[in-house]
Amino acid sequence: MEQLSIQLVFHGVLVLVVSVLGGVVLWRVLLKQDYGPQWHLLHAGGTVRGVLLIALSSVLHFPVLPLTALSIMIWLFIISIWASVFAMLIAALTGDRGLQNRGAFANRLIYLLYVIHAVTLIPAFLILMYGLIRAM
């Protein structure tokens, strides 16, 4: 279980690095009197996601789950977080939003990454809730 916690912290720190770099770009955008909403999203959303991974590492001992289920849950969280961070980064770089699966390649890629985010995050939380219910 310690190795799984290390994975969560490692990926959380990497996500925070991307978020901080997005914050540097946001600062430069704001200096130019531009609004830069996609850079705001990457900076704030990336920070929250990185902290979420790090916070999850400290509660892994609570859910009552087999090691396989715990591993699946952790990797679902990691994949989900990276999918959304990459989506936000591509959106910031291109200006596309990915709200629908049409248009430019970047827009469709952002959409797909957000779908991956949702499809992996929901089962990860369900597994976590199941394990916590079993622990109660």
Predicted pLDDT of residue 61? 93
Query: Does pLDDT of 43 surpass 90?
Result: yes
Q: From CA 15, how far away is CA 12, in angstroms rounded?
A: 5
Q: From CA 63, how far away is CA 91, in angstroms rounded?
A: 35
Query: Does pLDDT of 44 surpass 90?
Result: yes
Average of pLDDT values for 18-25?
95
Confidence of residue 34 (pLDDT cuts 50, 70, 90): confident
Confidence of residue 39 (pLDDT cuts 50, 70, 90): very high
Q: From CA 89, how far away is CA 37, in angstroms rounded?
A: 12
Predicted pLDDT of residue 36? 81
Q: From CA 29, how far away is CA 87, in angstroms rounded?
A: 19
Cα 18 from chain centroid? 11
Query: Does pLDDT of 32 surpass 90?
Result: no
Confidence of residue 63 (pLDDT cuts 50, 70, 90): very high
Q: From CA 90, how far away is CA 108, in angstroms rounded?
A: 11
Q: In 10 A of CB 121, how many CB atoms?
A: 18
- The whole-model pTM stands at 0.93
Average of pLDDT values for 93-121?
95
Predicted pLDDT of residue 90? 96
Confidence of residue 45 (pLDDT cuts 50, 70, 90): very high
Q: From CA 40, how far away is CA 55, in angstroms rounded?
A: 22
Predicted pLDDT of residue 131? 98
Q: From CA 50, how far away is CA 134, in angstroms rounded?
A: 27
